[in-house]
Chain A
Amino acid sequence: MIFKDYVFYVLAAILLAAGLRVITARNPVHAALYLVLAFFTAAGIWLLLEAEFLAIALVLVYVGAVMVLFLFVVMMLDINLDRLREGFWKALPIALPLGVVMVIEMSMILGVKTFGVDQVSAPTPHATGYSNTAELGRQLYTDYLLPFELAAVILLVAIVAAIALTLRDRKDSKFIDPADQVKVKRADRIRIVMMQADVEEKSVPADVADKKEGA
């Protein structure tokens, strides 16, 4: 085994352990942190595959942005853990054997026998000057132009859907449009009316007079 193999096995072991902890951790914040670790380790494995752009994108986008956002949401929501785990032990006697059987069945098909080194030839290493980023960019804008444009449309639909579902004028909203505010003229607010002068009578009611004296 060469050095690269050792690196792979260490990273793979960490990835598996972190992935396992994501679903077994009791605290959702811990689970999210383990997910960060899993992404970070997966990025390391991609680096070994000479896919450096994807590795860095994974760290920047998933670890840096998506997971931080996710952590915020998890911390802000008051998740009732006991209710989430309700029925876990009741379902376990059935779920566990079923899961084990599925894992065994799949490992019978997906193993060294089918995806081993002797079945699938190892990818040829790239030349020294090869740039993964440049190649990705070239592919994206030539061969994969159509899916790329479709991804853009999907993002547009996501924006439209998010706004259509959440933006609303609430009846109890105290929001005032500043544009309307500055356009207001005096005539809109004050109405000047001509009226007869009211001549006040000189006599003061008794209780008011009493109060005045008391003060």
Chain B
Amino acid sequence: MDAIYYDLATALPEIFVLCMAMFILLLDLFLKPNNRFLIHVLAQFTLIGAAFITISTYTPSVSYAFNNMFVDDPFSDVIKVMMYLSTFTMLVYTRSYIKLRGMFRGEFYALVLFALLGMMIMVSGQHFLTLYMGLELLSLSLYALVALDRDNPRATEAAIKYFVLGALASGMLLYGMSMFYGVTGSLNISDVTQALLVGVPSHAVMVLGLVFVVAGLAFKLGAVPFQMWIPDVYHGSPTAVTIFIGTVTKLAAFAFVIRLLIQGLFVLAGDWQGMLIIMAVLSIAIGNITAIAQTNIKRMLAYSTISHIGFLLYGLMSASMNGYISSTFYIVSYTMMTLAGFGVILLLSRHGFEAENLSDLKGLNQRSPWYAFLMLIVMFSMAGVPPTLGFYAKFTVLQAALQAGFVWLVVYAVLMAAIGAFYYLRVVKLMYFDDVEDKSPIVAPFSMRLVLSINALALLVVGLMPQPLMNICAYAISRSLQ
């Protein structure tokens, strides 16, 4: 009987989020339309509460629960707190947007929380089955969120594309996992590692499974050649959902890769390293070059995501402790940058108007110097201009790759980053040097203006003092991966 109490205590943040999501779902039925703000407040309370539970039950040790299917280690705690924080920010940004578009309903918040639960399971999964269940919970909630704006044919199209391709990727992932099971006789990550260390009867079958698993993971991350869905889904989804897909879920996908490839299949590092190198090289090239041709800012950010994933893979492909730490740092900074970037897009949208073309940013400096300045920081950070956070993130990732001996690949990445700087700086040019076309005033609730300012300024502050965040990432990784 004590065992189950221990299990439940280990998964307390997950249990809390699940209960609150169901409570919100039920409460929504009894609320009058003008009391709906309560749902928003409750959802934010859930995130704060979950963060409180995660931090207060923090231990530097690694504890397993539910028959070794679930793990609570410093890495999962750090990523989870980051996920609460980014979901919190995202809910602040999207509040007025969804209100104006008739999406301010309990389902939106409940689905976001269910998706968050799925991601928490992905971060803490220690068993292929648990990881897969978390992934499906996340994906299913996301498909519904994308399609939630029901009368928008573009959103429906994006949801169908996402659903079909997502199902295909899940199928690949499962097929690869079944190969691992066939060879090692277990689905548990630590057992698989153990079996690999002892020696498996057939290395070739493991590599075959690995190909499928890497393909599935690359799809979830959005690495070339599995990136086709990203621009369409980013473009078609309501911006309130795009910001969620572009930020929080990438954190979860990264943790998923860490659990599967780094923790579970480290013995096969020689085999997956080559695959990651090819994907990293292609992602950086296709992401940066195609982004130049975009006129839609959401599509541009989608291609920018692809190139960022390429940089992220540079850290992972080094297959060294330094590489993992720098990738963790990279994904955290990527999340912060993208949140602020989409925050500005959401800020410019108003009733009956979607800010999504680059021309909508024209002359932003004349409309509001402060927001133009914030967007300037975001763009500089994404391009990797010092002293912003993006520069330091790219620097550490490339440093790790250099230490691993990939000199030419690092030179290539720097060249590609220079090409990528073109389209980020074009946004700056539009904001500061072009004449304003759309003179309507920018209205936003105080909370959004405050959080957006903090978010964008944090890119500058953390960029100047990256050490504390770096220490957290280093601590989390070195404590959790032996």
Contact = CB atoms under 8 A, between A and B. Distances in A.
Chains A and B bind each other? yes
Interface of A: 106, 109-110, 113-115, 119-120, 142-147, 150-151, 153-154, 156-158, 160-161, 164-165, 168
A165 B7 CA distance: 35
- Which 8 residue pairs are nearest across A and B when measured between Cβ atoms? A161-B144, A150-B133, A146-B66, A164-B107, A114-B202, A143-B67, A109-B204, A147-B129
A156 B140 CA distance: 11
B208 interface: yes
Given A153-B117, A160-B111, A115 B182 contact: yes
Nearest to A105: B208
Contacts of B136: 154
A157 B182 contact: no
Contacts, number: 81
Contacts of A150: 121, 130, 133-134, 137
18 contacts: A109-B204, A110-B208, A113-B202, A114-B204, A114-B205, A119-B202, A144-B129, A147-B127, A147-B130, A153-B137, A156-B22, A157-B144, A158-B140, A160-B107, A161-B141, A161-B143, A161-B144, A164-B107
Contacts of A161: 111, 140-141, 143-144
A144 to B, nearest CB: 7
B70 interface: yes
A84 to B, nearest CB: 15
Interface in B76-133: 105, 107, 110-111, 114, 117, 121, 127, 129-130, 133
Contact of B111 (A142, A143, A144, A157): A157
A153 B136 CA distance: 10
Contacts of B66: 145-146
Interface residues of B, number: 37
Contact of B144 (A109, A119, A160): A160
Contacts of B182: 115
B33 interface: no
B158 to A, nearest CB: 14
Contacts of B479: none
Contacts of B134: 150
The secondary-structure label for the interface of chain A is helix
Nearest to B4: A145
A157 B136 CA distance: 10
A140 to B, nearest CB: 12
A151 B208 contact: no
Contact of A164 (B133, B144, B201): B144
A130 B66 CA distance: 26
Interface of B: 7, 11, 18, 22, 25, 66-67, 69-70, 105, 107, 110-111, 114, 117, 121, 127, 129-130, 133-134, 136-137, 140-141, 143-144, 147-148, 150, 182-183, 201-202, 204-205, 208
Given A110-B208, A114-B205, A160-B25, A168 B137 contact: no
A168 B202 contact: no
Tell me which of A115, A143, A150 has the highest count of chain B C-beta atoms within 10 A of its own C-beta. Answer: A150
Contacts of A151: 133
Nearest to A162: B144
A71 B244 CA distance: 37
Given A145-B66, A168-B150, A157 B141 contact: yes
Contacts of A110: 205, 208
Contacts of B111: 157, 160-161, 164
A119 B202 CA distance: 9
B114 A153 contact: yes
Contacts of B141: 157, 161
B67 A157 contact: no
B110 A160 contact: yes
Contacts of B127: 147
B133 A157 contact: no
A147 to B, nearest CB: 5
B110 to A, nearest CB: 6
Given A106-B208, A146-B70, A164-B148, A114 B137 contact: no
